C-alpha cells in the first residue's frame, strides 16, 4: 500500500440491484411504477428549452416547494426537497442525529439506514421485528438519539397504524422522529388515515419523508421531499446549502411540478396498482405463497414448498426479475413489485406451470 492510500475511506461498497435491459423482460425488482408519469410531464419536456440550461437552477427549487406545500396544505417553510428520498434522508441523518445516544430503527427495514449511520458515525440499535414482521412500538420507548422507520415498512409492506405511529412520536420528545413514507400512497383509500403528514402540525420534532419515485412514476428524475416544522426544514436547508447549493437540476424542478399538478392521474394510477395488488394477493395465495398483508406496491412472499432462491433463479431464466435478499431472516422470501395486470398474469402463468 502506498503512503497516500492510508488516507482513503474504506466503505463496504453497496451493489445496486440489477437494472437489466431489454424489451421482453418483466421488471418487478425495484418497486418502480408500471405506468408512465402524468401526461403533463411529457408536454413540459417538449416545451423545455435547452438554452435555459446555461444558467444555474433555482437553488431553493421554489416552484416545486410551492406546488408541494399547496398540495399538502402546509407552509412553504415546511417543505424540503432533495435528489430522491435517499438524499433527503442522508441529509436528515447529518442534520438531526447528533446525539451520543443510539438512534433506533427496525432490524428489517430500508438497508441504507445502517449505511448512513456507519458513514456519519452515528451510533444505532436495531430492535427486532416480531415473528410476523411487525414493528413492536414498545421497542421505541427507550432512551435514544432519534428514531426512523419506513411506513409501510420495506421489504415487508406492513403498515403501522397511525395511532401507533403517533404513540412513538408522543413518547419521543427528546429527539427527532422520521417517518419514511416512500410507499404511503399505496396504503389506503384515505391518506389521512395512514400518513403521518397530519401529525406535523402537532409535533415539531416529526419529519415525514416521501418520494416521487413510486406513486408518481418518476424514479428516473430523482425527487424526494420532507415535510416538517419550520425549525426542522430550516436546519435541513442550512446543512444542504453547506453541502451543495445546486442539486436539483432544471428538468427535475419543471417536471416535478407537472407531476404534482395532475391529481386525477395520480389517484387513477395509484388505485390501479392497489387493485392489482389485492388481486395478486389472491393469486399468490392460490399458488401456495404466504406473505405479510402488504400496503405498499410490492408483496414480500415465501412459498410453502419451494425455496425463494430457486424461484428467483427460475424466474430470471424467464426474464422475470423479482428481488431476492440473500440475508438471514429474509432469504426465503421474494419481494415482488406490483406491475401491470398483464405483467402479473405472465408471472403467475409461469409460476402455475413451474410449481405445477
Q: Sketch the per residue contact string, 36 through 65, with a copy of itself: x for CB under 8 A, - otherwise.
A: xx---xx--xx-xxxxxxxxxxxxx-----
Pairing between β-strand 289-290 and β-strand 79-82 as defined by DSSP bridges: unpaired
- Footprint (CB under 8 A) of a copy of itself, residues 259-318: none
CB of 285 to a copy of itself, least distance (A): 28
CB of 349 to a copy of itself, least distance (A): 24
- Is residue 228 close enough to count as binding a copy of itself by CB under 8 A? no
- Footprint (CB under 8 A) of a copy of itself, residues 310-349: none
Q: Check residue 109 and give left, alpha or beta (phi > 0: left; psi -120 to 50: alpha).
A: beta
CB of 80 to a copy of itself, least distance (A): 13
Distance of alpha carbon 215 from alpha carbon 16, whole angstroms: 21
- In this chain, which stretch among 68-76, 86-94, 290-298, 302-310 interacts with a copy of itself, using CB under 8 A? 86-94
Identify the residue among 76, 77, 99, 164 touching a copy of itself (CB under 8 A). Answer: 99
Radius of gyration of the CA atoms of the chain, in A: 21
Identify the residue among 61, 151, 156, 237 touching a copy of itself (CB under 8 A). Answer: 237
CB of 4 to a copy of itself, least distance (A): 4
Q: Between vectors from CA 143 to CA 139 and to CA 144, what angle results, nearest 5°? A: 85
Closer CB to a copy of itself, 195 or 247, in the complex: 247
102 close to 148: Cβ distance less than 8 angstroms: no
* Burial grade of 134 (CB within 10 A; 0-12, 13-18, 19 or more): middle
241 close to 95: Cβ distance less than 8 angstroms: no
- Footprint (CB under 8 A) of a copy of itself, residues 5-24: 5-16, 19
Amino acid at each position: 500500500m502506498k503512503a497516500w492510500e492510508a488516507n482513503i475511506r474504506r466503505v463496504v461498497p453497496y451493489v445496486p440491484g440489477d437494472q437489466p435491459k431489454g424489451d421482453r423482460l418483466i421488471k418487478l425488482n425495484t418497486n418502480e411504477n408500471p405506468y408512465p408519469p402524468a401526461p403533463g410531464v411529457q408536454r413540459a419536456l417538449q416545451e423545455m428549452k435547452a438554452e435555459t440550461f446555461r444558467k444555474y437552477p433555482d437553488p431553493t427549487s421554489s416552484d416545486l416547494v410551492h406546488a408541494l406545500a399547496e398540495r399538502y396544505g402546509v407552509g412553504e417553510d415546511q417543505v424540503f426537497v432533495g435528489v430522491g428520498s435517499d438524499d433527503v434522508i442522508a441529509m436528515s441523518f447529518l442534520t438531526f442525529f447528533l446525539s451520543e445516544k443510539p438512534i433506533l430503527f427496525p432490524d428489517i427495514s430500508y438497508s441504507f439506514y445502517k449505511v448512513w449511520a456507519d458513514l456519519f458515525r452515528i451510533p444505532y440499535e436495531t430492535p427486532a421485528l416480531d415473528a410476523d414482521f411487525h414493528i413492536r412500538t414498545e421497542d421505541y420507548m427507550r432512551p435514544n438519539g432519534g428514531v426512523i422507520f419506513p411506513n409501510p415498512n420495506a421489504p415487508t409492506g406492513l403498515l403501522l397504524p397511525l395511532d401507533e405511529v403517533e404513540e412513538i412520536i408522543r413518547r419521543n420528545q427528546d429527539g427527532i422522529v422520521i417517518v419514511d413514507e416512500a410507499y404511503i400512497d399505496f396504503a389506503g383509500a384515505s391518506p389521512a388515515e395512514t400518513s403521518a403528514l397530519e401529525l406535523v402540525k402537532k409535533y415539531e420534532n416529526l419529519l415525514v419523508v416521501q418520494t416521487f419515485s413510486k406513486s408518481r412514476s418518476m424514479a428516473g428524475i430523482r425527487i424526494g421531499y420532507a415535510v416538517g416544522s419550520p425549525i426542522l426544514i430550516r436546519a435541513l436547508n442550512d446543512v444542504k446549502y453547506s453541502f451543495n447549493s445546486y442539486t436539483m437540476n432544471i428538468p427535475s424542478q419543471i417536471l416535478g411540478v407537472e407531476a404534482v399538478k395532475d391529481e386525477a392521474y395520480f389517484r387513477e394510477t395509484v388505485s390501479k396498482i392497489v387493485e392489482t395488488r389485492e388481486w395478486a394477493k389472491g393469486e399468490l395465495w392460490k399458488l401456495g405463497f404466504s406473505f405479510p398483508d402488504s400496503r405498499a406496491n410490492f408483496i414480500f412472499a415465501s412459498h410453502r414448498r419451494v425455496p425463494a432462491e430457486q424461484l428467483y433463479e427460475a424466474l430470471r431464466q424467464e426474464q422475470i426479475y423479482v428481488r431476492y435478499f440473500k440475508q438471514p431472516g429474509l432469504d426465503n422470501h421474494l419481494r415482488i413489485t406490483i406491475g401491470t395486470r398483464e405483467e402479473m398474469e405472465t408471472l403467475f402463468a409461469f409460476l402455475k406451470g413451474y410449481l405445477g
